[in-house]
Structures are given as structure tokens and as C-alpha cells.
Amino acid sequence: MGQAFYVTGTGTDIGKTFFSSLFMAKYARSFKFRYWKPVQTGSSNAGDTEFIRKTTDLPDSFFLKPVYEFVTPASPHYASKQEGVVLDPKHLLNVLTKERKTNTLIEGAGGVFVPLTENYLTIRGIGESNLPVIVIGSTELGTINHTLLTLDALTSRFIPVLGFYLVGQNNPLQADNAETIQRLGGAPCLGITNFPEQKLSPEEFLVFANNHFDTNRNVIDTILNPEDEF
């Protein structure tokens, strides 16, 4: 029996896909994890699934296709309306439920309050899916406020939060940011990884992930053993 988990962020382009790439590069083969972005917007060139496929050089069997995919680079509620597609939250939830007991990283679209439809927010879908969540925040200035707001929104709705992970440019504030969020947010910091200084080949990215991501195994051990405490 496996364990699917949901990756959300404190905002758009905060680093969810970078985190997902690192996770898949390091753990997909050894633990048979698959990557899945059920709702993809802005896919006129290449979506996040294709980006991670190219970054990690993993075969197609490690990826699930989006349930809904839109060309428009906007919130799903707007993109679906622009393209004349009905996004059905019940259908999406049914598909998510079928994958709950498989080793799957599920990446959300944007932050927790992104509307999937005119009156259905992402956070409602996360809660109804009953999936555990990892919150991705930035290493930089402002992350304390944004990450605490996201954690509060999730925990106040009794959504299980496995912890938070910070990604971004190397920043002198990042250690204090992580400690402060952990102390005030009621969720453990699972780690910090800075962006590489240059573009990496898939082989180089694998080495980077092995050396710089989840160095204490907090992420993988928490996902596979969610009842355990640090």
C-alpha cells in the first residue's frame, strides 16, 4: 500500500515544480513514486509534467496525465471558462481518490485559495481528498507571512500537514525564516534547498538532488511513516 501526498505552495511560481523535480529525481525510482498535476494551466509550450520529465529524464511510466489541461496561463476557473471546458470538482475528486493509496506526488495549481471553479476553491478539494500536504515556501523576505497564512488556512480546516519545505535563492534570512515558521506555524520544517547556480543536465540534476535535497530524509520518512514524529 502506498501513500499519495499533495504539494501546495504559498503562491504561484513559488517553487512547487522545483521541489517536485528534486523529489522525483531522488526518490521516484527507488520508491516507485509517480508525478501528477491533475489541473494544468498555461500549457501552450510545455506544462509542468513535461518540464519534470525533461529535468529528471524519467520514463513515461512515472507520470500521470493531467485530468484538466488548459492553454490559458490563468487560474483554472478562468482558463476553463475561456476555453469552454467544464471543470467538474466531483469528477476530479473521484479521480484523486483512486490514487490515494499509491505512491504519487500530486502537485496543485498555485496556492490553496486558487479557485478551480467560480465557487470551488483548491483548499476545499484538498480537504475533501483527505490527502496529507507539504507546503512549499520561498527562502526569501516575506516567506514568514505567506507560509504562516497558508499553514493556518490548512490546519484550521483540519487538513493534515506533513510539514513545509523552503526553496529559492540562497538567502541570509533562510535559516531564521525556517525556524520562525516552524516555531509559530505548528508544522515541522522538512528542509531547505537553494536553486542551482546554473542550468543542469538531467544527469547533473540527479547529482544535485541527491546532494542537496532532503539531506536528513525528513521528507521521505515523513511521507512513508506519517504517524512518526521527529
Active site residues: 37
Q: How far is CA 205 from the centre of its chain?
A: 18
Instruction: With H, G, I as helix, E, B as strand and everything else as coil, classify residue 207.
Output: helix
Cell readout for 20 is: 517536485
The half-sphere exposure of 61 on its side-chain side, counting CA atoms within 13 A, is 3
